[in-house]
Structure 1
């Protein structure tokens, strides 16, 4: 599985988001990562479906949509989901995983199942035949810039081993939360292939995107 960089728009310049998206395009990121929160599942609000649909008008990059919501169904059906996108819902949400997965796949997008740090892959084994991406949260979700949980990177190894042992070798692992270049390189060796780049990776105060993105990509290839 080739490594891919998914740039977290939550960490971009929200006052001039179009400008940052253009820079991300020019520097060849693979996905735009969009967090949609409900202030219930996590204590924050971020983007919504109208923002997603507006972003469609200014870029052809595929979207990596992460719904941190108890009830994602209505929002999923309000978005312009396209072939090649990744749409991830949380295994801990309060709706039917299968119903939402079926809708996402009907749109020819990849279905992602997100796991909070304390959720085991064993708990969601019945859904794995329908999953394209497992999104592992490496921080307590909700806010950009949070610290990575100590020891959580080993969950990447454990998840990859579990998927391979149970013949789900086609499922990719996405890692999200405080993913620096050094950590990304290590997790690449552990089995991750999609890396969400935020304030620890590409949206850094000390370097422009034109420098951070090539540096990050080099670290995972």
Structure 2
């Protein structure tokens, strides 16, 4: 059975002064997840949302959250958030803490455990964690800032990752793609095996169109 494709709207690209308004528009247009990036200014040279913002977003919407922790030490932040069943919580394979300890805590909350890979990290390098992973989050750009260009060769990495997972009988692990995901690229990556698409400035938060226009258009490419 083909995996249902899903759109995860990247809130760091939203109008932060009107975030609740944008969330209501995203809800109305049927997005599947709200993607929330949490950074530490060390793992990546930027700061975005924190656990209090995650909990505030949780209080105004029933949409599941797709929480992406770009942090060297995610343990404390993971435990400060209101994680719910149906959420995806991703930590980086390159972080400096126990992957298994964090995975166990996330799964205890009935959330899906995601393992994020930087562009130069291969799926082979994280093979030992795959029995515990629900989602592989492939970074298609150097992480940290919205609006960056996709790194050459990342399309092929999507294909290679799906092939590796299927060859090793990890058919149930979904691939999420993040970074410069335009409608056209999303359509191609769907064919290569991705099923969760993080929509940012290249996909749905575009200056030339409203969310009421871009979200339905994006869905038209991936479904």
TM-score (normalised: structure 1): 1.00
TM-superposition CA deviations, 1:78-116 (whole Å, max 9, x none)? 000000000000000000000000000000000000000
Give 1:197's aligned residue: 199
| Matched pairs, number | 221
Q: Report the counterpart of residue 98 of structure 1 in structure 2.
A: 100
1:54 corresponds to which residue?
56
Which of 52, 69, 72 aligns to 2:71? It is: 69
Could you list the runs of 5+ residues in structure 2 that have no partner in the other structure?
none
Distance in 2 (alpha carbons) for counterparts of 1:197 and 1:210: 14
Partner of 1:32: 34
Determine the C-alpha separation between the residues in 2 that align with 1:22 and 1:58.
9
In structure 2, distance between residues paired with 1:41 and 1:153: 24
Listed one character per residue, the Cα deviations across residues 32-64 of structure 1 (whole Å, up to 9, x for unaligned) are: 000000000000000000000000111000000
- The aligned runs of 1:57-206 (5 Å cut-off) are 57-206=59-208
Q: Runs ≥4 in structure 1, deviation > 3 angstroms?
A: none
Alignment-derived partner of residue 22 in structure 2:
20
Deviation of 1:151 after TM superposition, in Å, equals 1.8
Q: Which runs of 5+ in 1 are unaligned?
A: none
Query: C-alpha deviations, 1:178-213, integer Å up to 9, x for none?
Result: 000000000000000000000000000001000100
State the shift of 1:152 in Å.
1.0
- Normalising by structure 2, we get a TM-score of 0.99
CA RMSD of aligned residues (A): 0.3
SS at match of 2:130: helix
